[in-house]
Chains A and B, each alone.
Chain A
Amino acid sequence: MAGSIEHEIAIGRARELESVPILEKIHEWVVTVDHKRLGLMYICGGLLFFVVAGLQAVTMRLQLAMPNAGLVPPEVFNRLLTMHGTAMIFLVGMPILTGFFNYLVPLMIGARDLAFPRLNAFGFWLWFFGALLLYFSYIAGDGLYGAGSAPDVGWFAYAPLTERAFSRGNSTDYWILSILLTSVGSTATAINLIATTFSMRCEGMTLSKMPVLVWLSLVVSFMMLIALAPLSAAQVMLLLDRFVGAHFFDTQAGGSAVLWQHFFWIFGHPEVYILVIPVFAFASEIIPVFSRKVIFGYAVMVAASGAIAFISLSVWAHHMFAVGMTPAGNSFFATSTMLVGVPTGIKIFNWLGTIWGGKLRLQVPMLFCIAFLFQFLIAGLTGIMLGVAPFDWQLTDTYFVVAHFHYVLVGAIIFMIFAAIYYWFPKATGRMLSERLGKWHFWLFLIGFHLTFDTLHFAGMTGMPRRIYTYQPGRGLDTLNLVASIGAVLQAVAVLILIINVVRSLRSGELAGDDPWDAWTLEWSTTSPPPEYNFATPPVVRSRRPLWDLKHPEDPDWRYE
């Protein structure tokens, strides 16, 4: 029917202007299968748990601000550390990052939606209820024995602490089921992203013309398919141990405690890369736009990510250097661990190459990117230190490790999630976030981050193990911990500023227009926010930067690719 597209647009605009009753609005969001709405729901849900788990972290830091403090009793502290860790990985990192992929991948490849929209909605709701289940343990975890409340076995839940003999009540069962559900949801998303990338690209977009972000979402999706399976298997085995008396990990009946560790870490280490490769993807989109240069070494960047994914499947036992492996085993895992440093280094150098010779716009998304580059460099170098197995015998399970992986999870991942929020918020809402508040957010968070995590490296080297609810005075740890706690409060204030910024912008932020950053990928060619069908006409591309070609017809990319 001629003119149907314009007609549809008109209807869409009219519906947006209508004042829809609140219940109907909620209903629309609940039944939606739109990848953009589901993406936003993942991100908002993740941010909600980010605030909750963040407040739990601040509580722990207040307890540790001084030696021998009595703010929370040991049982409560142990629940805090377990819930903080589990939530930050499964309820914050995973959903926010898959949320961004959900939102961006179809837009970037010029598709109307993901390949399986209903599977997408199914995955989201599995995740959502799995997430609620974890926190529901606070009121329901007592179980038949009257013991428990929230899980307190640590986020990697080493056997046999999780067995019935040592973990009574049902708190550990909530932990198991919650992770099982969220993992199934993530697997569904991974399948969806792979199918979408392989079958829904617009005309002209060959694999080698996909934006780096789409490539990396493909890499991460394959990693999820491989890594989540052993995790789910281990959870099922533990469930069998706890309910029907199987003896996989029950050492009192001859089971193996080390077996759990292998199962967990063969998931757990790829998981680190499942979380960090998406933020490499954000950096590879944002840094070029704010440097005004094409990404340096596109093919190498993609290949390096593939190499990281491949090598990262063979490094898991570097979490287990202290369990008493043979010298040959320790040497193997030390070797594979250090090898990951090579492709990781290549990525940092290529971002440097992208910045080099550019014209850097130091706006908020780029500020977070620059901080990310420095912090990820440090995280990588402390990672090399931990890869040296003998050094790791001293450092493992201390605050040095806590500082190292928070450099990755906060210094790299959270910083880049903030960058991505500032960068794509205008696309998703049609409004800009405030630069002024954004700069306050950035600087406060940066200072707080370094106060907390720089000092914790030294606490670890001075003999402070992780997961302790208190420490005695007179051990040279007092000042370091006080400084770290002050930093935690600053970070909390910075996140509060972000929330204020988001709320204010939603109401009265400056209108963004379609392409506020003068960017080059397809999502900026449609309206902000994009209509439900994404593009009025299916786009056709000739290069990796279709909007560059449009803006610079005299010097298009396709001549050089």
Chain B
Amino acid sequence: MSAYLKRCWIWMTIAALGGAPIIALADDWGMGESNAKIPPSSIFNPISTPAREIDTVAFFVVAITAVIFLIVASLLAYSVIRFRARAGDDGREPAQVYGSNPIEFAWTTVPIIIVFVLILVTARTIYMIQAAPRPPGALSVHVIGHQWWWEFRYPALGIVTANELHVPLSDPHSPTPTFLDLESADVAHSFWVPRLAGKTDLIPNKKNSMWIDPQVAGTYLGQCGEYCGTEHAMMLLRVIVEPRADFERWASAQRQPPVLDASASHGRIVFETTACVSCHTIRGTAADGRFGPDLTHIMSRQTLGAGVAMNTPAHLKIWVNDPAQMKPGALMPAMNLGGKDLDDLVAYLATLR
């Protein structure tokens, strides 16, 4: 109810100020600060071959269209200014020109030639990206879209994680691309990290794939590109590109079962005796649900709720208590745990590094 009143108040303020967008900002749970450290996800700042190929063809197309625009727009502007009716006009109608076949022929032929060139360039880039062979040693990651989070499975490495994709750095001289096999558990989604590659959809009952070979280490922001329901906007994604040695270290840590901390044993009992286990997996425990993200190493991830909040114990507590507070519409229900159970549960989750 208070949220409703707040909205009424906001509306009245807007009406009072004649539409000035004065809007109460919600807590960003530390995400703004974190995002600001990462360069914007511009498609014109590529660091991986597919995105770079697209950048090249885009530059070519934008250049051609810009020239066309300059020519046609100048002609239009010139003719509007030059041929406008002036004061003191004699009132006679101008010469009536019904058309001209040579002119029509010219302005039909030139665009056809331009289109022909564009088609060749386009087809070349399509085949270069889509038909690239998968090298035998390439890392394969199985990406599964869910409402509204990402599941990443590394079949060869025996790793399951969520929302943050770790991939090894690729050396441009001897590339080690990562291939993503895309599927959906529910509705259509789209995998998009602008600096790495274009979008490819994740469609139920269909197997798609794409590849990336990031050549600069760092964290890259992306998100779901196909409308997929209530929290489409907060189906965010991070790709963490690391040098090979760091990646191997991360992978071997992920493969380990979680280290059990005796002080958190009550929290573990709470976890295993509530509905948490129906949806989540923690390896080495009774929890083996598949509907929600694997929590075996949840504390190794930067964010919670598919990028809706920074992953801190304080945020984790808010999330577990009522996810809708951070992500209204999220499919995880509020757990309605009491004070001590909640604290212990969060303390237990905080040990899952």
Within 8 Å of chain A (Cβ to Cβ): is B203? yes
A-B contact count (CB 8 A): 347
User: Assuming A75-B230, A359-B83, A377-B69, is B96 touching A293 (CB within 8 A)?
Assistant: yes
Most buried by B among A65, A70, A159, A346: A70
Within 8 Å of chain A (Cβ to Cβ): is B97? yes
Task: Report which of A71, A381, A390 forms a contact with B10, defined as CB distance below 8 A.
Answer: A71
User: Assuming A67-B25, A355-B79, A362-B84, is B225 touching A465 (CB within 8 A)?
Assistant: yes
User: Assuming A66-B21, A334-B122, A394-B54, is B203 touching A324 (CB within 8 A)?
Assistant: yes
Nearest chain A CB to B34's CB is how many angstroms away?
Answer: 7
A393 to B97, CA, bound (A): 45
Which of B35-43, B239-247, B278-286 faces chain A?
B35-43
Nearest chain A CB to B151's CB is how many angstroms away?
Answer: 17
Instruction: Closest B residue to A332 by CB, please name it.
Output: B123
> Are B58 and A360 neighbours in the complex by a CB distance under 8 Å?
no
Task: Report which of A74, A322, A361 forms a contact with B190, defined as CB distance below 8 A.
Answer: A322
Within 8 Å of chain A (Cβ to Cβ): is B269? no
User: Assuming A322-B199, A377-B72, is B23 touching A65 (CB within 8 A)?
Assistant: yes
State which residues 344-391 of A face B: CB under 8 Å.
345-346, 348-350, 352-353, 355-362, 370, 373-374, 377-378, 381-382, 384-385, 387-391
Within 8 Å of chain A (Cβ to Cβ): is B260? no
User: Assuming A292-B94, A474-B34, is B230 touching A393 (CB within 8 A)?
Assistant: no
A72 to B233, CA, bound (A): 13
Which of A10-18, A236-244, A297-305 faces chain B?
A297-305
Which of B112-120, B136-144, B249-257, B341-349 faces chain A?
B112-120
Within 8 Å of chain B (Cβ to Cβ): is A254? yes
Within 8 Å of chain A (Cβ to Cβ): is B14? yes
State which residues 305-351 of A face B: CB under 8 Å.
322-324, 326-327, 330-331, 334-335, 338-339, 341-342, 345-346, 348-350
A359 to B111, CA, bound (A): 29
> Are A472 and B31 neighbours in the complex by a CB distance under 8 Å?
yes
Instruction: Closest B residue to A340 by CB, please name it.
Output: B115
Interface 1/0 per residue, A60-73 and B, CB below 8 Å = 01110111111111
Within 8 Å of chain A (Cβ to Cβ): is B7? yes
Size category, B interface? 35 or more
Within 8 Å of chain B (Cβ to Cβ): is A396? yes
Which A residues are in CB contact (< 8 Å) with B123? 327, 331, 334-335
Which B residues are in CB contact (< 8 Å) with A291? 83, 94
User: Assuming A161-B228, A360-B85, is B98 touching A296 (CB within 8 A)?
Assistant: yes
A477 to B41, CA, bound (A): 10
Which A residues are in CB contact (< 8 Å) with B38? 474
User: Assuming A472-B31, A476-B40, is B65 touching A342 (CB within 8 A)?
Assistant: no
Within 8 Å of chain B (Cβ to Cβ): is A27? no
Within 8 Å of chain B (Cβ to Cβ): is A503? no
Within 8 Å of chain B (Cβ to Cβ): is A263? no
> Are B122 and A389 neighbours in the complex by a CB distance under 8 Å?
yes
A477 to B203, CA, bound (A): 28
A471 to B24, CA, bound (A): 14
Interface 1/0 per residue, A436-472 and B, CB below 8 Å = 0000000000000000000000000111011111111
> Are B99 and A296 neighbours in the complex by a CB distance under 8 Å?
yes
User: Assuming A389-B122, A465-B224, A470-B233, is B98 touching A66 (CB within 8 A)?
Assistant: no
Which B residues are in CB contact (< 8 Å) with A138? none
> Are B187 and A388 neighbours in the complex by a CB distance under 8 Å?
no
> Are B25 and A71 neighbours in the complex by a CB distance under 8 Å?
no
Interface size on A, residues (CB 8 A): 115
* 18 extra A-B contacts, CB within 8 A, seeds A360-B83, A370-B76, A465-B225: A70-B25, A161-B229, A257-B206, A297-B104, A322-B226, A335-B119, A338-B122, A346-B104, A352-B79, A355-B80, A357-B83, A393-B197, A397-B192, A397-B225, A465-B224, A475-B41, A555-B96, A560-B96
3 nearest A-B residue pairs (beta carbon): A393-B198, A463-B41, A474-B35
A contacts, CB < 8 Å to B: 58, 61-63, 65-75, 78, 152, 154, 158-161, 165-166, 251-252, 254-258, 291-294, 296-300, 322-324, 326-327, 330-331, 334-335, 338-339, 341-342, 345-346, 348-350, 352-353, 355-362, 370, 373-374, 377-378, 381-382, 384-385, 387-398, 461-463, 465-477, 482, 485-486, 489, 492, 552, 555, 557, 560-561
- 27 examples of A-B residue contacts, CB within 8 angstroms: A69-B24, A70-B24, A152-B229, A158-B188, A256-B205, A296-B97, A296-B98, A297-B99, A300-B99, A322-B225, A324-B203, A327-B131, A330-B130, A349-B107, A355-B79, A357-B95, A377-B76, A384-B65, A387-B122, A388-B58, A394-B43, A395-B43, A462-B42, A463-B223, A472-B28, A492-B19, A557-B96
B contacts, CB < 8 Å to A: 3, 6-7, 10-11, 14, 19, 21, 23-28, 31-38, 40-44, 51, 53-54, 57-58, 61-62, 65, 68-69, 72-73, 75-76, 79-80, 83-85, 89, 93-100, 103-104, 107-108, 111-112, 115, 118-119, 121-123, 125-127, 129-131, 147, 182, 186-188, 190, 192, 194, 197-201, 203-206, 208-209, 221-234, 236, 307, 328-329
